[in-house]
Every structure is written in C-alpha cells, then in structure tokens.
Amino acid sequence: MEVNQTSPPPTSSVLETVGKGPCRVEVTDMAIDGVTVLICLCGLLGNGAVLWLLGFRIRRNPITVYVLNLAMADFTFLLFIVTSSVLYIMENVSCSALLSLKYKRSLFLLSLFSYNMGLYLLTAISIERCMSILCPLWYRCRRPQHLSVTVAFQRVFEETAVTTTCS
C-alpha cells in the first residue's frame, strides 16, 4: 500500500495556498534578495552623499564632473536594483505576479542602461587620467575646457542608441 502525502514535509520551504496548488517560497532567494536590498540601500546613501558633495559643495574640475556623472549612474542603477529586488520579494511572498512582463523588461533595460553608463564613464575617467599623466603639458594648456561634459553627454546618447536598438 502506497502512502500519499498531501502536505509538504516540515523542513520544506513550500507554503500551502487556497488556490490551485502549493506556492513555493524559496528561502535562499529571499535571504539573498534581502541582503541585496540592504547593501543597495547603503550604496544609495553613499552615492547620495557623493552627489550632494560634488553637486553643491566642491568646486568643479574635469575629474569631478566625471565622478559626479558616475555617481548619478550608480545611484540610478542601485535604485533600479532595489526596486526589482523588492518586487521579487513581494512576488515570492504573495505568490502572484505584481507586474507584467513588459514592465519587468523595461525595468531590466533601464538598469542595464545605467550599469553600462557607469562602465563607460569609468573608461572615460581612465582615459582622462592617463592623458593628464602621459601628456601633462597638453592637459594643462591645450585640453578643451568642456571636454568632460561633452564626453559624458556623448556617452549618454551612444548608450541610448544601443539600448533602443537592442529593445
């Protein structure tokens, strides 16, 4: 005689729902997303402090313009990651989809856009620093005054073109 078990074992992470079947709550994923949210909130505070300092308190030079743009890109990336992690946690707890796939895809593309902007700005900062060390006379005398702002806007337009082409 075979015994049918209708309820999950006590060590399982399966919760019974009133609907059609069991709802799985992955405890490991929930813990990882909780830690991710905490780390991202600390990052949001740090990037907010950098934005406030570089935006309002410190005199601008070419490198601080790049760092200000990088802090803004990182701030938006962390904001999108916190949003998606909280949505994932809420969907796991409620056992239903809160957003349609179209909105989740848009959230993913926006987070990818801000992540790539951060990478491009890190590349621009590296090139700027190399030029200031390898060609110090050119950097002090002949460097265009608004080069960092121009490069930052150029990166935004390039990334926008790539993101809209891929979507």
Q: Which residue has the higher pLDDT, 146 or 65?
A: 65
| pLDDT for 81 | 94
Per-residue pLDDT averaged across 130-153, rounded?
82
How many other C-beta atoms can be found within 10 angstroms of the C-beta atom of residue 125?
19
d(CA 149, CA 132): 17
Q: pLDDT band at residue 124, thresholds of 50, 70 and 90?
A: confident
In the chain, the largest separation of any two C-alpha atoms, in whole Å, equals: 91
pLDDT band at 48 (very low <50, low <70, confident <90, very high): very high
| Residue 14: pLDDT band with limits 50, 70, 90 | very low
Judge whether residue 73 has pLDDT over 70. yes
Task: Report the 10 Å Cβ neighbour count for 40.
Answer: 20
The whole-number average pLDDT for the span 108-123 is: 89
**Least trusted range by pLDDT, from 38-42, 84-88, 100-104, 143-147:** 143-147
Q: Which domains does the chain have, with CATH numbers?
A: 15-166 (1.20.1070.10)
Q: What is the pLDDT of residue 17?
A: 45
3-state secondary structure of 23: strand
* CA atoms of 128 and 122, how far apart (whole Å): 10
Q: Which residues pair with 23 in a beta bridge?
A: 15
Total length of the chain: 167
| C-alpha span between 36 and 77 (Å, rounded) | 13
Q: Terminal CA-to-CA distance of the chain, rounded, Å? A: 56
For the CA atoms of 120, 68, 80, 153, what is the dihedral angle to 10 degrees?
-50
